[in-house]
Structure 1
Amino acid sequence: MGAGSRSNTLVVPQAIGALDQLKYEVAQELGIAIPQDGYYGNMVTRDTGSIGGQITKRLVQIAEQQLAGQFK
């Protein structure tokens, strides 16, 4: 699925750029090359799942930090 055919709608559409940046950062840390043409059909499912899992983990950490800051 390319960036233009997202099936999920974002609550904050401006977040697309930040999420893409996070995707590339996580992929680089894991040593996984993201196809520049946006076609993920040739990627191994394990790799795309690893990227998605790490993104989710980071987003949860960010949310926890923000919530912890609100209750201090």
Structure 2
Amino acid sequence: MANRTNQLLVPQARAALEQLKFEVAQELGIQLPQDGYYGHMTTRDMGSIGGLITRRLVQIAEQQLAGRR
């Protein structure tokens, strides 16, 4: 496993983030390696996946904040 420097504030969220990564990649038509090694992935593909994940997380946060008012 790769050395991860980013630590999740909620460690239980790791599985949900992994699932989101696979869903986003599938929507974009990008095949993720089954062995978990992303070294052969293009920067463009990984950036597309990361960008869409970020947009989704911001959207979820905005919806939650709107619901609290």
TM above 0.5, one fold? yes
Q: What residue number does 2:4 align with?
A: 6
Which structure has the higher relative contact order (CA within 8 Å, separation 6+)? 1
Structure 1 residue 5, shift from structure 2 partner: 2.9
| Structure 1 spans left out of the alignment, 5+ residues | none
1:6-45 equivalence runs, <5 A: 6-45=4-43
Identical pairs, percent = 72
Q: What residue number does 2:65 align with?
A: 67
Query: Over aligned residues, Cα RMSD in angstroms?
Result: 1.0
Cα distance in 2 between the residues matched to 1:5 and 1:22: 21
Counterpart code for 1:27: A
Paired positions, count: 69
| Structure 2 spans left out of the alignment, 5+ residues | none
Q: What residue number does 1:50 align with?
A: 48
Cα distance in 1 between the residues matched to 2:39 and 2:27: 21
- The TM-score with structure 1 as length reference comes to 0.91
Cα distance in 1 between the residues matched to 2:4 and 2:57: 19
